[in-house]
Each structure stands twice: as structure tokens, then as C-alpha cells.
Structure 1
């Protein structure tokens, strides 16, 4: 079944591809998110409403504390008064002028044991490993994935909870991981935080946690999952994942229980074999959007709309003017984004029938 998309708005935005491919979004007060984009040695905060109104200037800009460090996943407070950066050897909060508000030191994500740093905080050690951080919805807490050096030269990764005012550690959860990288997902219920840790060929770990003001409680969904944490929606108590190799999508309760599953039937697909790509999420409470591509990752992706509660495929998105060769980024408010690399056009779409209603 074909489902027609209707263009809501579009804007020419060079470099806007990062908005549909990566960890560029944070949900602010309303569901329509804001975009965090690294531009040279600065982290820019863009309001999507203003972007589509033609405003190119960012709403806030934060200088990077370590210009040579291009990894880590960073976060900005809901009121944009400070940013928190996940560095190679520290988590640092900075103000709009780049002034350091506080710093939480940890061991180096670089892979060489015992390597010196020469006293230069700007030195970037070899290796691609990194952590991530996330400011809570109320701006009072900072969640961070860090690594520490233990006695005997061993290394241990932790998920730490910090006071956003001064960086004081409030609690920590030991992790059984050897990360290549990680990212957080702030659940829109304002209570739970998710952490997805990629370990290369060793798989993926998923964790959830909550802070009640006194006790930090976390739970590990297990190495067996090998699933990528993708999205959550205010109307759902759980979250959405995709299997590492794209074999299926699953909707889960917060304890990891599978509520619904979407698999692909090779007999119904043009590609041999097909897989779900690593871009999916909630268009709104009733609808999930996901991409289907061939197993080698080549060819034009096809966007599918699925029921948001059962993950039953409703149909394939048809775009006016022809196929759209793009990653897809759902916004949770009934719309989704695509980006045309050729023209530099960022477009916002909705289901045509939904627009008519």
C-alpha cells in the first residue's frame, strides 16, 4: 500500500544533512526538537521553527573546550545557559562565552595504557573511542558515560550522575562494557534516561536508569539484545529499537519486554535480502517511520509507515515529485525530515491524509 506524503515546508540549509543522520537532536519544552550542530570549533543550537522560517543564525553558540577533539556526544541545557561536553579525559560544563563552569575528570578514552599527556589538556590521544553525556529535562542533572583507571592498570567504565550546578557526583553505575562509543536517550516522561553503548564486533549494550532525588537505580537489558536504542514517545511507556544488522524493529517496555515486532518478508521485497536501516522513530504516538534498504546498504532507501503500537506495516511513503533518497528523521509531532544532498534542501513532511484532517 502506498501512503502519500505532503510537503509541509522546506529550506535550503548547507550542511543540514547532519539533522537527519546522527545524534543532532534534543527535545526541548515542546516535542519539536532543536538541533545541535558542530560547526568548526563551536557547537550551535538551532530552533527548528526558526530554521524553517529562514533563520540561519543559531539560537546559542558554545565554543568547544578541546578544538582538536571531534568525538563524544554533547548536550545543552533546556534553557541554553550552559553546554556539557564529553571529552577524552573529562566532562566539562561551559557557559556561552566558553568559560568553564565545572569539570569532572576521568581516565583517557585513548587506547594506549600509561601514555603521558605532557600536561597539555588539548592533546588528543590516538583512538576512536568516546563517551557521551546528556542534561536532564529539568536542567538539574547531567548523565555521563566515562572510563576510569582501577588498581592494577585495569579499566572500568561507569555511568555517572552529576549535579548540573557544580559537577558533583551523585551516583554511579558500573558497566560491563568496552565501548567504541555511546549515546543517551532522554525519555520524554522526564524521569528515565537510556544509554546505548556500541562495542564494535562485541555487540551493543542497553541500559536504563532513574534518579528519585536520593537513589540512582539502573538496569541492564543484557548483551544478548544487540539492539540499537532509537526513540521514545510521551504517549508510550517504553522505547523503540532496531536489531544491529537490521533484521527487525521492536517496541519494548522499559524493563526490556518486547511488546511488538516488525520483520521483513523477503518475498514481499525487491531487495535480496532486505533489512531495516538504522533510522527510525515515532512520527507521532500512532505512527512509526522506518527505512528499508538492501543488506549491503546500497540502493535508495524506502520509507515505511508502521502502526505505533503493533508495528504492523501500514504502507510505503510516496513523495510528490518522485522518490526521496535520504535518511529520515521523525520529529514526534506528526512530521519527519529528509535532506537532499544535491540541492542542500531540508524538507519537513507529513502524511497527506493527516494534513487534510
Structure 2
């Protein structure tokens, strides 16, 4: 099960530990004040906790408890483009490494890069060039503690999904064959990944090892009486056999969304699901029958089925 969740609130990165039997409003385990005049684009924290990191358009910073700046990794040469490139980062499972996605093509710096830094001093230990032209990326830790899955969003050109592993000073990069699917979630056992068609026509569930489609459900299977529906790029696994899929639509000029349950054993939609979320992306499934949303102030709240 996922061990922590984080929020960036009121100039602080707040880390919340997810305990097996604790529901309701979560209390922060650690707070990292961020001393930056630049907009925070992405953030992450170690499970410890002992470190947090955040990205701006021009750098990645690692901070300790109390907000002490430990080191900065600058994205050079500094881009003059103001929009369209959001660097992303994530700590390794053991907290010793920091993975960074550099959207350098959109920043007019050269090819996109995946970089691994040593957390204790910010030293670059591995770099891989990507054949992408992305705006941003989403990282996910595989439960084996070794592999990382990440999704590079290329805007109207689609998305690319990779499975990677660090071997010494080499990044072993495995691109999945699709360029038109967006990564949504990964099961707790690391066997299945969930994707949504970039055109939002269906949701699919794949073998992580091979990429083979094990199950695909078209948008029309969820609310067949409605027209103009799409599968949104949110949702995820509530359990190994239960997924939540988000369906978007519009009625009389008003957009709406509904969460739906899918039985992964049969591929059958099981009806709508009440998530208690504030918006379509305020839903973080944990894979153990629980999920997290936010209260009106942005603080995380954990819910449980039943």
C-alpha cells in the first residue's frame, strides 16, 4: 500500500502518513516550508520523512525538515519559454535517489531527458535521452522497489509510457508500444496498469510486464443512453479486482462527471461510485479499498468502501 501522500499548501510541502486503519482527515507527519519566489510546479517527499524536493521551470531543489535548502539542480541552459514545460520529480522507494523528467524539447534546450540524482549531494549518476516532446510527466513507483513507471504527456500528439530501472550508472529504458494511451494507475501487486485512450474513447488494463491488453471497456458501456461522452484521465484501482473509471459529459451546456466501478474479473461496469471528491482529479485510490480526496482547505481525507 502507498505509504504517504503529499500536498503543497500555504507555501509548505506537507507529508501525510497513510496508516492501515486510520480514516478521515489525515494529520501531517512532516512539514517542509518552501523558500522560493518561483512557482512550484511539482513536489515529492521521502517516506522517512527526511527530504522533500520540488521543481520550478528552471530548477529542482532538495530540502530538509525545516525547509533548509540542501542542494539545487539547475535546468540549464535557462529556458526563455514561459509555458509548456513542467519538470517533474520523484524519490526512489528507499529515498536514496531522485528521478527527474526534463521537458527540454519544449523548453528549447534539446532532447527530453530522464535524470537520476544522488539525494545526499545532488550528484548526477545517470541520464537517458528520450524520444519525446513532452509538456510534463507523471511518475509511479513499482512495488518491487526497483522499477519506475512514468507517463510523458505530449499534448495533442498523445502520450508515451515507459518502464525504467537503474542498473549502476545506466538507466534501462523500456518504452511501451503505444503513443496514444495515458497512464492512470498501477495495482498494489504491480501486475496491472490502467490506461485511458488519448482520444478518451476507452479504458484498458494491461500486463505491466508485456503491455498486453487484458481488458478494454469502451465509453459506451458506462452510460449508453447518453451521447458525447468521454473517459477522463482520472480514476484508478480500488482493489486488485475493482477499478474506478471517470466518465465525462455535458447536459444543457453544463459539464459533469461520474465515477463508475468496473469488475476486473468480468470486465463489467457495476454502476456509479460516490467518491466525495471536490472535482474530477480530486481522487487518489490506494488500492486497498480506500481512497483520498481533499476537504475545502485542500487537506487530505481518507475514505473506505462500506
Instruction: Give the TM-score band, short-chain normalised.
Output: 0.7 to 0.9
Higher strand share: 2
Gaps of 5+ in 1: 1-30, 113-125, 353-357
Match of residue 290 from structure 2:
335
Which is greater in Rg? 1
Match of residue 127 from structure 2:
172
| Residue 130 (structure 1) shift | 0.9
Match of residue 14 from structure 2:
44
Contact 1:148/1:156 (<8 A) preserved:
yes
In structure 1, C-alpha distance between the alignment counterparts of 2:273 and 2:18, rounded to whole Å? 24
In structure 2, C-alpha distance between the alignment counterparts of 1:278 and 1:272, rounded to whole Å? 19
The correspondence for 1:269, drawn from 206, 224, 230, is: 224
Deviations 1:269-314 (A, max 9, x none): 232122222221110111111122227995442222112356x124
Match of residue 99 from structure 2:
143
Q: Which range moved further: 167-176 or 231-240?
A: 231-240
| Residue 55 (structure 1) shift | 5.7
Is 2:42 the partner of 1:87? no
Match of residue 262 from structure 2:
306
Query: How is 1:74-153 mapped onto 2 (pairs within 5 angstroms)?
Result: 74-107=43-76, 110-112=79-81, 126-147=82-103
- When normalised by structure 2's length, the TM-score is 0.84
Query: How is 1:1-357 mapped onto 2 (pairs within 5 angstroms)?
Result: 31-48=1-18, 52=23, 54=25, 56=27, 58-71=28-41, 73-107=42-76, 110-112=79-81, 126-147=82-103, 155-213=110-168, 215-222=170-177, 224-254=178-208, 255-265=210-220, 269-294=224-249, 298-308=254-264, 312-317=267-272, 326-327=279-280, 328-338=283-293, 346=301, 348-350=303-305, 352=306
Higher relative contact order (CA 8 A, sep 6+): 1
Report the number of matched residues. Answer: 298
Q: Which range moved further: 240-249 or 206-215?
A: 206-215
In structure 1, C-alpha distance between the alignment counterparts of 2:113 and 2:290, rounded to whole Å? 36
Q: Secondary structure at the match of 2:116?
A: strand
| Residue 215 (structure 1) shift | 3.5
Deviations 1:178-221 (A, max 9, x none): 22222211122222111211122222122220123454200222
| Residue 332 (structure 1) shift | 0.8
Q: Secondary structure at the match of 2:143?
A: coil
Gaps of 5+ in 2: none
| Residue 262 (structure 1) shift | 1.3
